[in-house]
Amino acid sequence: MLTASDFKQNLNLQGLPFNIENALEDLPIPVLICDNKGDIIYFNTAFNDVTAKKINHGDSIFDEEIIQFLDTSGNPIPANASPIAQIILKKESASALKVFLKKKGDLPHTMVTKIHTDASKEILAFQFSFSPQAYSEKRNLKRNTLSAIVESSNDAIISKDLNGTITSWNKGAEKIFGYTEKEILGKKVNILIPKDRISEEKLILKTIKSGKSLDHLETRRLNKTGKEISISLTVSPIKDIFGNIIGASKVARDISERLKGDERQARLSAIVESSDDAIVSKDLNGTITSWNRGAKRIFGYSEAEVLGKSITILIPKERLDEEKHILKNIASGKRINHFETIRLTKDGRSIHVSLSVSPLKDRKGKIVGASKIARNIEDQVRSKKKIESYVEKLRILNSVGKDISSKLDLENVLQKVTDATTTLSGAKFGAFFYNTEVASGESMMLYTLSGAPKSAFEKLGMPRHTAVFQPTFSGQGVIRVDDIKKDERYGKNEPIYGMPNGHLEVTSYMAVPVVSNSGKVIGGLIFGHPEEGVFKKDHEVMVRNIAAQAAIALDNSQLFERVKTLSEKKDEFIALASHELKTPLTTIKGYLQILEKKISEPKSRLFLNKTLDQANRLNTLIDDLLNMSRIEAGKLEFNYEDFDIRELLLDVSETFNYSENKHELITDFGDLPVLIHADKQRIEQVINNLLSNAVKYSPLADKVYLNLKLDQGKAKVTVKDQGLGLTQEQQQKVFTRFYRAESTKGINGLGLGLYLTKQIMDAHDGMLDVKSEEGIGSEFYFTLPLAK
């Protein structure tokens, strides 16, 4: 009989690299070793824990107090009839033999036996693998946990033997590969391996056989549907208690998602890093937790400089409240989109940025911080400002242009020009000086001033021939200097040699001559600013352009003034001439009237009357001329009163009938008075004018019609003749000054009558028009508003 010490010796003799007894003692798996008669030569503590009887060396394995054998249905059977007896007594070889073992009570246990056959001494080692219930509470729990972990693991935990046959398969494996345990147990692991990776399995087996593990091999496997899946494989050898490698355990993790996630993560990282925008994250206290290259580029700080610092280092003092507001929003889960603000760079510059801030959440959805994307919009803001400034400049230019071309009032135009150029050039003040020759020849006149009160210049002398001013007022060209006091032309004029006391402070200086078309220097626009280098080339160009326009305006204005003076002289002349003409006319008429009373001889009376008629016509012509010139000058005065136009028409027609006339006047004025508010004398003039035209232009007819009626709340007077009539073209021109129709050659007139009539009607808010057909006659009519 082999004793325990023999056994130990034997084991030692086998040269195992570890103390087998110690190893077995600590093993949680019950182990029993017996000789070929079934006598126990070794048992470990774990085995002793599961037996009902305290066992000793030499006890038999067939003692039912130690092990109760059961059949496959769980019924007790005699020990010598059990499969284990077959193995031990009949020396049948057995591997992975399943038997049942009963310890206290009737709990079934799985007993996996492994036979170690020594060449000289037959020893059988039994390794009992119990189902969890059989263990003591503590071991039970541990094993339960381990088993539960294996079962509940999302990883596939598989074991296989050295032939590659699958020997165990957990739920995780089922999930990943799709096979159930039942389907796959006993199958070759190769069914999980893509063809192109079969060689990998050989390598794995080789590694395993050499006792090494394979850690985290990322590879691909096939699932039940034949789809390839990415997995991370950890393979470890499974050794028996003697250290022989009997198989391998495989832990396979599905990393498809992780790979996807990794890829995404990598891509996102790359995007974040390569972004031109600053992408920064911070926690809820505002502490910076990440910082990309864009942030470095925009703000100047490196990642190392800012990590762990407060985000407030980027925020201008006066905007610190913004951060509170942002954090408040973030804490309540709100995003902030494209918030335009100002941030500070490392070197203290303020830059315009557009901020988008989003809450950062952990996996559970709790807000733990914020990501900030800051875009440098400095260029945008600058170009926006530039555009705004251009728009403003254009607006000013446009308004100046309009004023220059539309206004003729010199002072007004110059003030506009001075204001606009001062604004556009950014000058502190600007002035237009007018070139005037005073007795001394040493002066220019301040015409308009912008940006400073006129008194700022009034008391100062304005010498024109100093080195500084002379080039401008002689039209030599633009002077633009960054600091006039450093200019060599400055300070050459006695007695002050520089700016007199009380002069506005000037450092930047720009002077642009204003030269008329004829080449005459009208004056100069002068601009000043207390700071240095304010006026740039484009300011100069702009002012020069406006100065050129202003020169045109000044020319126009002067021309206009001259024309106006001429026109006034003409009006004065006409007024004087008409007066002078009327005095002899009065005498002529008077004497003719005296003669008319004294002469009774018919033929002489006829001649006398004709002469009187012509004297009266002459008078009318003089009146027309005078009236026209007054209307042109806007000096024709009207004396408005309420009167009955019907009565006036009756008077006029009576006078018409009274005078010798070959035309019969046919009237229809209605029965009721028609009150209008007008200048009675002028209206009478209008009616007479239309009547005399009707007679004059219908030499072959014998009737003229004069009507009054109410038309749409207005008094309408119509004068109709059966005369020459007017063409469409003539009708359009008939109310213009000095117009006389071609067909009226041989009929006297200046062409002023209808023009004056129209002007009088316009002044009365009335309307004058004509309907006419050539060869049939004309119908002139006017309407006037009724008296209120």
Partner 1 sequence: MKTIFLVEDDHSLRDLINFLLSDKEYNVEAFANANTFENRIKNGEPDLILMDIMLPDGNGVELCKALKLNSTKGNIPVILMSAHADPSIADDSGACHFIKKPFDIDELYTEIQKYIG
Sites of contact with partner 1 (CB under 8 A)? 578-579, 581-591, 593-594, 615, 619, 623, 626-627, 637, 639
- Measured from the CB atom, the residue of 154 and 587 that comes closer to partner 1 is 587
Q: What does the chain come to in residues?
A: 788
Half-sphere exposure at residue 150, Cβ-oriented, CA atoms within 13 angstroms: 14
Biggest CA-to-CA distance, the chain: 199
Q: What are phi and psi of 616, to 5 degrees?
A: -65, -40
Q: How far is the CB of 735 from partner 1 (least distance, A)?
A: 22
- The residue among 163 and 639 lying less far from partner 1, judged by its C-beta, is 639
Q: How far apart are CA 604 and CA 602, in angstroms?
A: 5
Shortest distance (Å) from residue 444 CB to partner 1:
43
**Of 250, 157, 243, which is closest to residue 200 (Cα–Cα)?**
250
Q: Check if the beta carbon of residue 63 is closer than 8 Å to that of residue 32.
A: no
Q: By the 8 A CB rule, do 417 and 550 touch?
A: yes
- With respect to partner 1, which residue has the nearer C-beta, 376 or 629? 629
Q: Taking the CA atoms of the chain, what radius of gyration do you get in angstroms?
A: 62
CB 744, min distance to partner 1, A: 26
Q: Please, what is the minimum distance in Å from the beta carbon of residue 511 to partner 1? A: 52
Nearer to partner 1, 619 or 707 (CB): 619
Tokens (6 digits) for 6: 């023999």
Give 127 or 578: the residue with its C-beta nearer to partner 1.
Answer: 578
Residue 232 β-bridge partners: 218, 253
Q: Which CB sits closer to partner 1, 314 or 631?
A: 631
> What are 356's strand-pairing partners?
373
3-state class (DSSP) for residue 396: helix
CA pair distance 416, 421, nearest whole angstrom:
8
Alpha helices in 377-521 (DSSP H): 378-406, 410-425, 455-458, 470-473
With b meaning 16 or more CB within 10 Å and e meaning fewer, what string describes 64-101? eebbbbbeeeeeebebeebbbbebbeeeeebeebebbb
Task: Write the DSSP assignment of 144-200 as a string of letters.
Answer: HHHHHHHHH-SSEEEEEETT-BEEEE-HHHHHHH---HHHHTTSBGGGGS-GGGHHH
> Closest CB to partner 1 among 488 and 637?
637
- How many degrees, rounded to 5, is the angle at CA 308 between CA 305 and CA 313? 65
Taking a C-beta distance cutoff of 8 angstroms, is the pair 755, 690 a contact? no
Q: How far apart are CA 765 and CA 197, in angstroms?
A: 106
- Closest approach, Cβ 539 to partner 1, in A, equals 56
Peptide bond before 83: cis, by omega within 30 degrees of 0?
Answer: no
Closest distance to partner 1 from the beta carbon of 691 (Å): 20
| 657 versus 681: smaller Cβ distance to partner 1 | 681
> Which residues, other chains included, contact 687 with Cβ-Cβ below 8 Å and sequence gap of 6+?
648, 649, 652, 706, 717, 719
User: Closest approach of Cβ 772 to partner 1, in Å?
Assistant: 30
Smallest distance, partner 1 to C-beta of residue 661, A: 19
CB of 489 to partner 1, least distance (A): 59
Residue 774 CB, nearest distance to partner 1 (Å)?
Answer: 35
Smaller CB separation from partner 1, 517 or 587: 587
**Three-class secondary structure assignment of 307-364:** CCCEHHHHCCHHHHHHHHHHHHHHHCCCCEEEEEEEEECCCCCEEEEEEEEEEEECCC
How near is the Cβ of 593 to partner 1 at its closest, in Å? 5
Residue 597 CB, shortest distance to partner 1, in Å, is: 8
At closest approach, how far in Å is the CB of 630 from partner 1?
A: 8
Between CA 551 and CA 513 the distance in angstroms is: 9
29 or 585: CB nearest partner 1: 585
Residue 780 CB, nearest distance to partner 1 (Å)?
Answer: 23
Q: In what order do the strands lie in the sheet with 40-43?
A: 40-43, 31-35, 123-128, 107-114, 98-103, 68-70
Amino acid, res. 159: S
User: Is 698:663 a contact under the CB 8 Å cutoff?
Assistant: yes
Q: Smallest gap, in angstroms, from Cβ of residue 602 to partner 1? A: 21
- Tell me which residue has tokens 């129209």: 758
With respect to partner 1, which residue has the nearer C-beta, 80 or 587?
Answer: 587
Rounded-to-integer distance, Cα 689 and Cα 769, Å = 14
Q: Using alpha carbons, select from 112, 2, 20 the residue that is nearest to residue 57.
A: 2
Report the distance separating Cα 562 and Cα 575, nearest Å.
20
Kindly tell me which of 640 and 705 has the beta carbon lying closer to partner 1.
640
Please give the helix or strand (H or E) that residue 610 lies within, else none: helix 602-632
Rounded to 10°, the helix 410-425/378-406 angle is: 170
* Residues contacting 684, CB < 8 A, separation 6+: 648, 651, 652
Q: Which is nearer to partner 1, 521 or 577 (CB)?
A: 577
Closer CB to partner 1, 65 or 580, in the complex: 580
DSSP 2: -
Between 90 and 597, CB nearer to partner 1: 597
Q: Is 571 helix (H, G, I), strand (E, B) or coil?
A: helix
The smaller minimum CB distance to partner 1, of residues 480 and 682, is found at 682
**Closest separation in Å from C-beta 590 to partner 1:** 5
For the bound state, the minimum distance from the C-beta of residue 573 to partner 1, rounded and expressed in Å, comes to 15
Q: Considering beta carbons, is residue 440 or 600 the nearer one to partner 1?
A: 600
Cβ-based nearer residue to partner 1, 317 or 598: 598
CA distance 319 to 312: 9
We find the least distance from the C-beta atom of residue 579 to partner 1, in angstroms, to be 5
